[in-house]
Structure 1
Amino acid sequence: MKKIKLYTLAAMAATCLATSSCTKEFEELNTNPNATEAATPSALLAPALHDVVTRNNNRALRLTNELMQVHVTILDTDEIHRYVIRPGESDYMWNNWYLQRTNFVNIYKSAQATQQKSYMGIGLILDAWVTSLITDTYGDVPYTEANQGRDGRLQPKFDSQELIYKDLFAKLEEANALLASLEAAATDLPLMLPEDEQRLDPLYNGNLTLWRKLGNSLYLRLLMRVSGRPEVDAAGKIREIVETNTSFYPIFESNEESAILRYTTTQPLTSAFADLREYDFNGSHGLSEFFVNNLNEMEDPRLTKWATKYGSGYSGMSSGYVPGNIPERQSYYPKALMNEPLLGNILNYGEVQFILAEAALRGYISSDPKTYYDKGVAGAITMWGLEVPAGHLEKEAVAWNNAADFEAKLDKIMLQKYYTLFFTDFQQWFEYRRTGHPVLPIGPGVQNGGVMPSRFRYPITVQSLNGANYSAAVAAMGGDDINTKVWWDQ
């Protein structure tokens, strides 16, 4: 392979031991003119990426999996399964997503200063990813003026979700063009980071071709999310990526290309649950009837990875139960999931196939949705190291039915996608809000009028520290309430 010479930033920032007797001359004397005050992009990548994925897992366990009936709590005071989302839930992800977005933005800016197109592209992709999580969870949020505290901007304005999404698309376009320009300069693929930096990339070991595929696969996810809005020609762009300009927009083509931060049992790439007691991971909840029963009906082999047996088989408990009427806990998560490498999923091949199946169903692309659906079903199983059972795609609970109506076909796609998004941040919840699928049973104890929450409230600290901009955002959105719909959901 022909090597492409990519220049990195200088060494990490020097540390100055400051005391009350330090003088200006002392500081100048001890300043290294060859060092930079900013960390190198390669040094920022792994810790920032790992932090986001592990915190996403943490809240998938606490919030997504209960809202979306993956599991059900046996603690009667925990009412997330009843659609009660308290304001205190908002702070954790807001604070940590914005913290790591600063690092992703700095990856881009530091690389831009030295024209490292590789890290510029990576920084843009990761910025688009984490920003999409922020806006899909809260709606209108600080964006164009955010992450500028070092420059003294402590009260950023909130931007509309429409503006944010359009800018995310521009960033993904830029990232694709930057990485494409590097590929065009190479004679062999895949294009790699320098050998001494490949080990600092825990996702793709320096393979920039796969980073490019991640960016474009993320593009598809976000285009589908806003496809109901007339202000964006999402269908046209999806068609360009998938049919008319495929060579310029490569996407995932196999499980091996999936974006999965594969956990290990040793630092620094340990699971979000590595240090938990087993009880803290699986002792306060059991798997839901909805989650287990569908897998039982499909005879899906992933049950062996995701659930413990209850008696001779697998069974779940009802969600949304009436307070004081706690059902018996039955199957629950096995201990092995606490260190499962695949829980570090960001975006996988199976999800992309189900995006394409939906695009075909909606007429955005001309292919048969069954083709993508079947690939998605098979890929989602084999990703877990399991074989697709003989005749699996012909089983009544799994088989694509061309004679079914649109809603039945969409539910079939979204049910399979639901399992493909197992423990993937808030994606199950986002997709349910967008489509209303898969159809979830509503228990007798569910509150909030039986309506799935549409967003999280803004953190209380935002209200107190950025009051004027908070008030303007609330007025623009129509209220700071869990039932206020975000732009793409209206």
Structure 2
Amino acid sequence: MRTKYFALLVLTAVFVGCTDKFEEFNTDKKNPAIAAGNALFTNAQKELADQVNQTNVNQNVFKLWAQYWTETTYIDEANYDVVTRNIAEQIYRFMIREALRDFKEAKELIAVEEGPEAEATKQNRLMIIELLEAYTWHQLVDIFGMVPYTEALNIENVYPKYDDGAFIYNDLLKRVTDAVEALDPSEGSFGSADLYYGGDVEKWIKFGNSLKLKMGIILSDVNPTLAEQAITSALAGGIFESSADDALMPYLSSSPNQNPLYEEIVATGRNDYVVANTIVDIMNDLEDPRRQFFFTQKDGAYVGGIYGHSNSYPNYSHIHPDILAPDFHGFILTYTEMLFYLAEAAERGFAVPLTAEEYYNMGIKNSILEWGGTQDDVDTYLARPDVAYATAPDESEDGWRQKIATQAWIASYTRGLEGWTTWRRLDYPIFNIAEQIESVHDIPTRFTFPIEEQTLNQANYAAAVAALGEGGDKLTTKIFWDLYDANE
């Protein structure tokens, strides 16, 4: 039996899981019918949140690739050298073999539960898992472009084929739509076993619609018709309305449930990262009020380390200590990012209630306030000619990509995959090219497949590489939704 140990954040108790031998689970004697499935769900939520918010270079390099942070001594990852570590394998491990497998097994357990209490909440619990599975798969597509999907997580098929990213996105949109429609706010769900929302079904409905909006925006350049359908449907169903709706992971001050940034940076005593000059210079030019919450000062100024270079830790600004606190929450999906997606939707001509400028201003305001700024900070910042929507510089051919992308990227600080994805989709803000790059001469636009796939799943790997097109399995091959090129 595959055995895991995890101290539940809600219950602070160790459980043992999992195989399809359901009777072998250790269960809560008070609620034996529902404890095992709920426990696996809780575990999967934490596994997902830890991977998404992690900065361990063995498993998540995206805060570096978004150029929020850079390295001090060991600089391979900021120079896009992914050969020396098995990073792709670790992404597969934590997102597919851990989180997605636990979600799948939780569904299997919940589906066979019996009794009035279990039956009353079963449908909602299954649909909530469906939403988090969709979230995880969409992130995997955004990382690799293609992944095993239809044949994944099948113990009888250890060599699954890879599915086309566009196909996966289309299927995920259907799954999200069906899950949202099946959720019933009049019934309960996971209760305290739900780490993100405490079992609030209405919040999960907003989460599902917000995820649909996000996926629709990502598809905008490659399939505008489907994108508009997804966005229209999401708005009709109801998306996040404030930061109170954010999907967050509530880390605790005690081990083993601490913020992974604290565990990786503070608890280890390592000084491997400083903030990157890419974001510091942009925010300095804008006199951005969020700098005081993002970075520390060096000799009274905000000074970013040179991206991709060796940087002496004492000589540059550091990650703000609040972000590295053991109980600093982890981000999954937020209201602020929805506002910038809506600004983009308005510019693309999709039917949304407000103008692009209004959503842009709301996104900036919400970001400043939620990080600790004041309304005066908001007013002063939005009054700047280089920030105000009507006058902010924008070199993109359609006149909006640069300003929306820049502010969305700033607002996504610490959320590496979101920041990197914004840059990949919209080609802004302007990123730095690390001068010490040897093997890659441009900024990555995807992650290469795990090396082990080349030997263990050779035939399907070869088919996937061929399907990627001329670029093949390279860091600079573009994902199917990445069509816009500011240089053309």
Identify if the C-alpha distance between structure 1 residues 405 and 300 changes in structure 2 by more than 3 Å, giving closer, same or farther: closer
1:482 paired to 2:475: yes
Post-superposition CA distance 1:399-428 (Å, at most 9, x none): 211686672532111112112222225121
Post-superposition CA distance 1:143-191 (Å, at most 9, x none): 1110111xx2211111111111111001100111011xx13xx3xxxx6
1:83/1:451 contact within 8 Å kept: no
1:342/1:384 contact within 8 Å kept: no
Q: 2:306 aligns with which of 318, 321, 334?
A: 318
Q: CA deviation at 1:330?
A: 0.9
2:145/2:446 contact within 8 Å kept: yes
Output the aligned Cα RMSD: 2.9
Q: TM-score, normalised by structure 1?
A: 0.82
Mapped partners of 1:463, 1:235: distance in 2? 38
1:158/1:469 contact within 8 Å kept: yes
Residue 107 of structure 2 corresponds to which residue in structure 1?
Answer: 108
Residue 78 of structure 1 corresponds to which residue in structure 2?
Answer: 75
Q: 1:472 aligns with which of 441, 463, 474?
A: 463
1:9-20 mapped onto 2 (5 Å cutoff) = 13-15=22-24
Q: CA deviation at 1:385?
A: 3.5
1:22-421 mapped onto 2 (5 Å cutoff) = 40-59=36-55, 63-75=61-73, 77-86=74-83, 88-99=86-97, 100-113=99-112, 116-149=122-155, 152-179=156-183, 182-183=184-185, 186=186, 192-193=188-189, 197-230=190-223, 233-242=226-235, 246=236, 249-267=237-255, 269-276=257-264, 278=266, 280=268, 283-321=271-309, 329-339=315-325, 341-365=327-351, 367-388=354-375, 389=377, 390-401=379-390, 407=396, 408-421=399-412
Post-superposition CA distance 1:38-70 (Å, at most 9, x none): 974322222111111112222477512222221
Q: Give the fraction of aligned pairs with identical amino acids, expressed as a percent.
A: 26
Q: CA deviation at 1:295?
A: 2.4
SS at match of 1:456: coil
Mapped partners of 1:16, 1:135: distance in 2? 33
Residue 434 of structure 1 corresponds to which residue in structure 2?
Answer: 425
Mapped partners of 2:445, 2:467: distance in 1? 16
Mapped partners of 2:274, 2:256: distance in 1? 30
1:46/1:200 contact within 8 Å kept: yes
1:287/1:317 contact within 8 Å kept: yes
Identify if the C-alpha distance between structure 1 residues 142 and 369 changes in structure 2 by more than 3 Å, giving closer, same or farther: same
Identify if the C-alpha distance between structure 1 residues 164 and 398 changes in structure 2 by more than 3 Å, giving closer, same or farther: same
Mapped partners of 1:49, 1:362: distance in 2? 34
Post-superposition CA distance 1:294-325 (Å, at most 9, x none): 2233333332222111011211122144xx79
Identify if the C-alpha distance between structure 1 residues 274 and 60 changes in structure 2 by more than 3 Å, giving closer, same or farther: closer
2:296/2:302 contact within 8 Å kept: yes
Identify if the C-alpha distance between structure 1 residues 329 and 279 changes in structure 2 by more than 3 Å, giving closer, same or farther: farther
The structure with the larger Rg is 1
Greater alpha carbon shift after TM alignment, 299-308 vs 274-283: 274-283
Mapped partners of 1:126, 1:393: distance in 2? 35
Identify if the C-alpha distance between structure 1 residues 218 and 118 changes in structure 2 by more than 3 Å, giving closer, same or farther: same
2:56/2:264 contact within 8 Å kept: no
Q: CA deviation at 1:103?
A: 1.6
1:84/1:448 contact within 8 Å kept: yes
Identify if the C-alpha distance between structure 1 residues 80 and 274 changes in structure 2 by more than 3 Å, giving closer, same or farther: closer
Number of residue pairs aligned between Structure 1 and Structure 2: 442
1:228/1:488 contact within 8 Å kept: yes
Question: What code does the residue aligned with 1:459 have?
Answer: P
1:423 paired to 2:414: yes
1:120/1:178 contact within 8 Å kept: no
Question: What code does the residue aligned with 1:398 have?
Answer: V
- The gaps in structure 1 that reach 5 residues or longer are 1-11, 18-31
SS at match of 1:235: helix
Mapped partners of 2:24, 2:55: distance in 1? 35
Question: What code does the residue aligned with 2:93 have?
Answer: N
SS at match of 1:431: helix
